[in-house]
A and B are shown apart, each in its own frame.
Chain A
């Protein structure tokens, strides 16, 4: 019952495939890899595959898919994926996102972390981040892990409006707001890169399992 992976229903129109618990980046990478693998397998009757940290949801067409058969196929595909191991990092696309580090919270982040603002920038631009999954609003990618020295809880009171393109950190995560939305993360910079465009196919720039590096610009 508590073994992984396990498959259980999410309502009457989706199944959950659960690989593990917690938020560790290796687990998220396995989940993203399995989601890509399942997508490539193009199981009949499946309309979407939605990964999060340690689980993914498989949505099926309203009445066409037979959940019992789909459960079997999912179990087999997950087993084959686990046997084959996660995709190698260098096989996954890397996006370089230019960032102007002039966010309204940069000074406060520097103060609270005891770092110089330039050090905050250096520590934010050094790692190559994994896209764990997308959520919150269209095109918003949860990236991580951030440098330990930059880990701060989210702001106690979220801002009502965070401008599109804001580059932000919270906890062990970083991300870019694709649209103007409310938000509680610390805004350290801004990018002109369009993360989400509904007229584009696919509309999202980043997908679960991709890699991202931020590069500082003056412009």
Chain B
């Protein structure tokens, strides 16, 4: 049986995409695969929302794209992070860490009370 899969919290897909792309130029399919692998199949990216998100990030100037030859022999669209995207990633990561920490704190405090 496949492990239970979690839906992504609202707004985190962009952060994850930026993080994956930060590792080096990569095409859309690669991003989907990489996300699934890294999260050990916990995070299943809805294919339907990946491309709109990619294009949104490209539109905002966080990602730049170019068509390059790929392993299949055909050209694929490779995305890479822009300077603006790198700054955005840094900021979003910090935001996320703060949020996660806060959630963790609340959970601990509440759990302590229940014990």
The answer on A and B forming one complex is: no
A contacts, CB < 8 Å to B: none
B contacts, CB < 8 Å to A: none
